[in-house]
Amino acid sequence: MDAGQGEDAPLAIPALIKSCLFARTILLLKLMMETKLKESLRTFTMAVALAGAALATGLSTGVAAAADAREQFFPVLTYRTGAYAPNGVPFANGYVDYLKYVNTKGGINGVKVTYEECETGYATDKGVECYERLKGKNATVFQPLSTGITFALTEKVANDKIPLITAGYGRSESADGMVFKWNFPLTGTYWDAADVLIQHLGKKEGGLDKLAGKKIALVYHDSPFGKEPIPLLQERSKLNGFELVLLPVAPPGVEQKSTWLQVRQSRPDYVLLWGWGIMNSTAIKEAVATGYPREKMFGVWWAGAEPDVKDVGEAAKGYNALALQHGAEPDSKIVKDILKDVHGKGQGTGPAEEVGQVLYMRGLSAAMLAVEGVKRAQERYGKGKAMSGEQVRWGYENLALDQKKLDSLGFAGVMRPISTSCADHRGAGWARVHTWSGKKWEFSSGWYESNESIIKPMVRAAADKYAAEKKIERRLPQDCQT
């Protein structure tokens, strides 16, 4: 059902129903207000009854649903409201559409996929509440799409034995699977992203050594998400000799005038944008307003999608961003399949125009990785059976998707091969750069792989620090066979 967000939001029947409900609520309120005291006592008993209902709901939700042996439940943590909704909605639509697509193909080797959405609004406490509510339903895997919620859930998933996929976000050190048994930052972390950006800038300059003496500014969302790349950029700045200027923007990022005045003053050669939600389009608009050339702006893969540039349009032409392996892929096979099998049958979660857009593809890929992990687990633990969280965790740890398999899934040209292992929960570190042409995203670079020689020691050190803080031991190699 259209959440009222698309361009052709039909105002007809749903809105009539909504306004009828609204009118009736107003009348009810009016009635209650006319007779004060007696009604307020009655209201109080109603409130008590409501509280009772709440407890009952709580009790009933807490009881683990009797696991249907032929169903695999996927909780979908989304945000369709709030300041980050413009980017959260296409991702969620892509994720859910892929799950529906898997069902049209007969499920995961015959096991039906069920799912339930839970609104987090990008807030950590709501994310935790959604997690607590949905984990009791034999949840397969959680993908919170928020670095803040990831930090909170990392503590809990180890006890509850449910894997956590943070594809392209989350803690960079969670790539170290020997410490972070249950975290899977598949396809890349923020350190990979920052490294690829520096490599690309080096290439533009004619060699990494030419970066010496240049000035690179990082305009970042003042939160764990935005601060993630800083250690790597500082490391790189020492290595390659460029000056790093850090410019934080207070969340949600609506006020950036002084930030961009500072950019104008310091005149950096490049600006890296690490934003999400409304911060991205505001940054580009402020760049237009202060006359900073968009060609010199490079966003992370969460700052390079249609919602960020759509309403700036032509003025954003030349803005570059990372593409987490895929960009906007309207011509890919999987998009055509989904349009045929899901949207064609009226089952599409969002508007059909959204299918193939950058964040939609991101959600699609994330769901694909989730499902493939289950398939891999079934290869070991029993094909055609529902998998538990622990079994699926093994699946994510032993993913081996080569190009042939990806092509058969319809992801040719969308994703590169990915293979995880016990020690490496990341699986791949490839990215490209795409540029906004004024109308659509077009690839403007070849493939880059992040530099393991720099990142691996940093990951190891940070993971060790985490293990020391939490007083947990590194996993032993024998543990990898379980």
Q: Which residues inside 205-244 make contact with another protein, applying CB under 8 A?
A: 222-224, 227-228, 230-231
Residue closer to another protein by CB (options 333, 440) is 440
State the nearest-atom distance from the C-beta of 167 to another protein, in Å.
Answer: 18
State the nearest-atom distance from the C-beta of 158 to another protein, in Å.
Answer: 11
Residues 244-263 that bind another protein (CB under 8 A): 246-255, 257-259, 261-262
Residues 132-151 that bind another protein (CB under 8 A): 132-133, 136, 147-148, 151
Those residues with Cβ within 8 angstroms of residue 250's Cβ, 6 or more apart along the chain or in another chain: 222
Which neighbouring-strand residues pair with 184? 165
State the nearest-atom distance from the C-beta of 21 to another protein, in Å.
Answer: 9
H/E stretch holding 216 reads strand 215-221
215-221 vs 270-274, strand pairing mode: parallel
Q: Which of 7, 66, 473, 476 binds another protein (CB under 8 A)?
A: 7
Q: Which of 278, 415, 431, 433 binds another protein (CB under 8 A)?
A: 278
State the nearest-atom distance from the C-beta of 130 to another protein, in Å.
Answer: 9
Answer yes or no: are the C-beta atoms of 188 and 426 closer than 8 Å: yes
CA distances from 193 to 66, 92, 196, 272, 280 (A): 42, 22, 5, 11, 17
Stretch 77-116: interaction string toward another protein, x if CB under 8 A: -x-xxxx-xx--x---------------------------
d(CA 419, CA 399): 5
The verdict on 474 binding another protein (CB under 8 A) reads no
Q: Which of 71, 104, 112, 128 binds another protein (CB under 8 A)?
A: 128
Answer yes or no: are the C-beta atoms of 197 and 302 closer than 8 Å: no
* Residues belonging to the chain: 482
| 31: amino acid identity, one letter | L
Q: Which of 69, 206, 471, 476 binds another protein (CB under 8 A)?
A: 471
Strands (E), 292-349: 297-299, 320-323
CA distances from 167 to 61, 171, 204, 402, 473 (A): 29, 10, 28, 18, 25
The alpha carbon of residue 400 and the mean position of all alpha carbons in its chain are separated, in whole angstroms, by 22
Stretch 55-84: interaction string toward another protein, x if CB under 8 A: x-xxx-xxx--------------x-xxxx-
Which 8-state DSSP code applies to residue 118?
A: E
Q: Looking at 186-241, list the stretches that DSSP marks H as alpha helix, in order from N- to C-terminal side.
A: 190-205, 224-227, 230-240
Which listed range, 122-130, 202-210, 340-348, 364-372, lies at the site for another protein (CB under 8 A)? 122-130
State the nearest-atom distance from the C-beta of 375 to another protein, in Å.
Answer: 27
Residue 394: both structure tokens together: 């093994």
The verdict on 23 binding another protein (CB under 8 A) reads no
d(CA 84, CA 81): 7
Residue closer to another protein by CB (options 135, 362) is 135
State the nearest-atom distance from the C-beta of 325 to another protein, in Å.
Answer: 24
Residues 366-425 that bind another protein (CB under 8 A): none
